[in-house]
A = this chain, B = another copy of it.
Amino acid sequence: MNENENGNEEAVFEFGVVITKRSMQENDESSDCTNVLIKEFKKVGFVVEKVIGIADDFIKLAAPLDTLGRAAAELQIMKRTHIGMDLQFEMEEVEAFVKQPDGSVFSWCERFHCYCHLIYGIANNSKSAKTLKFDGKEIFWEIGENLIQKLESENIVKQVFPLHDEKTRKKLLRTWALRWWDCTNQPIDDIYPYYGAKIAIYFAFLGMYTRWLFVLAAFGLTLQLVDFRSMKLVVLPVFFVVVILWAVMFCQFWKRKNAALLARWPLSSTVEAHSGYKIPGRKDSSLQSPMELIKVLEADRVKGKQVFQRYEWLGRFMRFRNDAIIIFSIICLQLPFELAYAHLYGVISSDVMKFGLTAVYLFSIQYITKIGGQVSVTLIKNENNENTEKRADSLVYKVFGLYFMQTYIGIFYHALLHRNFSTLRKILIQRLLLSEVLENLVENSLPYLKYSYKKYSVRHKKREKGESTDKFQFSSRVEKEYLKPTYSASIGEELEDGLFDDFLELALQFGMILMFACAFPPAFAFAALNNIMEIRTDALKLLVIFKRPVPRAAGTVGAWLNIFQFLTLMSICTNCALLAWLYDEEGKWKVEPGLKAILIMEHVLLLFKFGFPRLVPSEPAWVRANRAKHTTQAQNLCSKKLLRTISGGEKRGIKMKTG
């Protein structure tokens, strides 16, 4: 599909540089800023195309395999080799590395890093400062100065962003986003090369989750439609047990599926650890690098151990402190607020007042979550998490706490207050329908509206300048893409991208249907239906509405799986409480016999929850065997050579080379 890496094929432009439109042309071609930029790009090895847009000018960049290979070697990218070991990339030994499923050498994530390295690596290597001219202004490009950063600070280069590959995008649109009749089937192996592992994993997760939901949807609907009469009180616990077993097994089998997917894609474990989600040009703000500590460890074993232990426990304490701050502020600030709303909503009788209250509430929680997100991001900056993915996970936990409180506390309040299934059911239906519809509406329409507004404003600007309106087709795709919004999280762009919102929606839905499963069994059918739509709308969103997202190397769901498992745990407790209420008609709360049975059931389910992962390992046997095979191969292949190198040291190694 992606044939840009073969020099002979048509170049696929994967990066765009936006340059401010100038009002006057330079006379001197050689010192013209844009020309210099294009010349430098060509010098680096890019295939360059200049596009004159309506509001801005654009330079499209494509990198042939040679250029990428050079960048990868400079970046010391670790890549999976055929013997299963990760080694530093070298251009001459390209055959030793495992190819991507689509036949290319580099994955999109690796290409992205190479592009960034090349684009932001252009510096003035000549012996004198150069003078660049732009729109009459003169810019001095000093020796050793970074060109793009200079131009960005001068506001000449407006943005550097990854471009969609039109051919692949259209194909994906056809085979993925518009295939409504495929239900939960998706071409995951085509999504991975185009969007990177993290997004592909999200869609695989969503697909599997929806597929598994069908079982419970059928069971839940049966419970709703068939009248069990006297059996009603027996059927509900059975449903509860089935739901919990389902959730536990789902989490474990997802881990297995994830392992199988990663075995198919040659993801290097080292890339995953080091180069997570990094926006180009932004500086990393980690406190203290563990690499320095490793040096200490090397120098003095005992002292190094102590330093390491201090470092480890300090990091743990910081994380603990931050978590404590978040939990404390959620309980002390958010909880009263939510309870006040829930209470007022219950007390007020007038519908108009209720509507007004809800409007005020909805308006204020927008700000609360935003502030919470900001606080979390600030706190996380002081943690020394090992890599960006870990940091993102830490953020996810903190922010999810906020949303958890926001979403469920009202329901808990009503459930506790009324102790009445029909009221609870009404609230659940309200929430499910409202939230799903509202979320989808906001999620899909807001970016489109933003895009439309930008488009309109560009046209408007042109019209004001008195140019003819009939050539107002956006001639270039790159300009259209530039106007599209970026795929970013609603709580702040710093550490997470748009996947945060998508996963959040899934997790909140999962919690809602699971924690109150006994109160409203048909919720599973709602959720399944919603998720089938979600798959295609999310695909459309990514392919049509947004800029191509920055790829992330992580190959797992990350913190979200833990959240799913935590929600499963919670739902064991909440459902038991619900059942206890249901059977406790007189309000006497006697142990015998109902409560006893429920307590035993709870303990058995908890045992299952924690025992099941021991029975079924999270990695299929064939994946493990595959890895073992690779290791043995590596060892057999080069055991002797390695040994000679280790024991003989440098001298003999050099002798071998020259001899």
Q: Which residues of A contact B (CB under 8 A)?
A: 78, 81-83, 85-88, 90, 93-96, 290, 293-294, 297-298, 304-305, 308-309, 311-312, 316, 320, 562, 569, 573, 588-592, 595, 599, 603, 606-607, 610, 614-616, 620-622, 625-626, 628-629, 634-635, 637-647
Contacts of A320 in B (CB 8 A): 615
Question: Within the assembled complex, what's the spacing in Å between the Cα atoms of A407 and B86?
Answer: 52
Q: Is B308 a contact partner of A622 (Cβ separation < 8 A)?
A: yes
Contacts of A82 in B (CB 8 A): 646
**Could you tell me the distance in whole angstroms from the C-beta of A93 to the nearest C-beta in chain B?**
4
Q: Is A625 a contact partner of B87 (Cβ separation < 8 A)?
A: no
Q: List 28 A-B contacts (CB under 8 A).
A: A78-B635, A81-B642, A83-B646, A87-B635, A87-B639, A90-B639, A93-B643, A93-B646, A96-B642, A290-B621, A297-B625, A297-B629, A304-B622, A308-B620, A308-B622, A308-B625, A309-B622, A311-B621, A312-B620, A562-B614, A573-B603, A588-B590, A590-B591, A591-B591, A591-B595, A599-B599, A638-B638, A638-B642
Question: Within the assembled complex, what's the spacing in Å between the Cα atoms of A95 and B638?
Answer: 17
Q: Is A86 a contact partner of B590 (Cβ separation < 8 A)?
A: no
Q: Is A639 a contact partner of B88 (Cβ separation < 8 A)?
A: yes
Question: Within the assembled complex, what's the spacing in Å between the Cα atoms of A100 and B573?
Answer: 52
Given A87-B639, A629-B294, A639-B88, also A647-B78 (CB < 8 A)? no
Q: Is A635 a contact partner of B88 (Cβ separation < 8 A)?
A: yes
Look across to chain B and name the residue whose beta carbon is closest to the beta carbon of A82.
B646
Per a CB cutoff under 8 Å, which of B93, B311, B316, B610 touches A615?
A: B316
Contacts of A297 in B (CB 8 A): 622, 625-626, 629
Q: Is B308 a contact partner of A646 (Cβ separation < 8 A)?
A: no
**Could you tell me the distance in whole angstroms from the C-beta of A416 to the nearest C-beta in chain B?**
13
Q: Is B81 a contact partner of A294 (Cβ separation < 8 A)?
A: no
> Number of copies of this chain in the oligomer?
2
Question: Within the assembled complex, what's the spacing in Å between the Cα atoms of A642 and B645?
Answer: 11
Q: Is B293 a contact partner of A96 (Cβ separation < 8 A)?
A: no
Given A298-B629, A622-B309, also A641-B638 (CB < 8 A)? yes
Q: Is A308 a contact partner of B637 (Cβ separation < 8 A)?
A: no
Question: Within the assembled complex, what's the spacing in Å between the Cα atoms of A464 and B646?
Answer: 64
Question: Within the assembled complex, what's the spacing in Å between the Cα atoms of A588 and B591?
Answer: 8
Per a CB cutoff under 8 Å, which of B95, B316, B590, B595 touches A616?
A: B316
Question: Within the assembled complex, what's the spacing in Å between the Cα atoms of A81 and B649?
Answer: 13
Question: Within the assembled complex, what's the spacing in Å between the Cα atoms of A646 and B89?
Answer: 13
**Could you tell me the distance in whole angstroms from the C-beta of A173 to the nearest C-beta in chain B?**
29
Contacts of A610 in B (CB 8 A): 569, 610
**Could you tell me the distance in whole angstroms from the C-beta of A508 to the nearest C-beta in chain B?**
21
Question: Which 5 A/B pairs are nearest by Cβ-Cβ distance?
Answer: A589-B591, A308-B622, A96-B647, A93-B643, A312-B621
Look across to chain B and name the residue whose beta carbon is closest to the beta carbon of A636.
B88
Q: Is B625 a contact partner of A294 (Cβ separation < 8 A)?
A: yes
Contacts of A644 in B (CB 8 A): 93, 96
Q: Is A81 a contact partner of B621 (Cβ separation < 8 A)?
A: no
Q: Is A647 a contact partner of B93 (Cβ separation < 8 A)?
A: yes
Given contacts A90-B640, A591-B595, 4 further A-B contacts (CB under 8 A): A87-B643, A93-B640, A95-B647, A304-B622
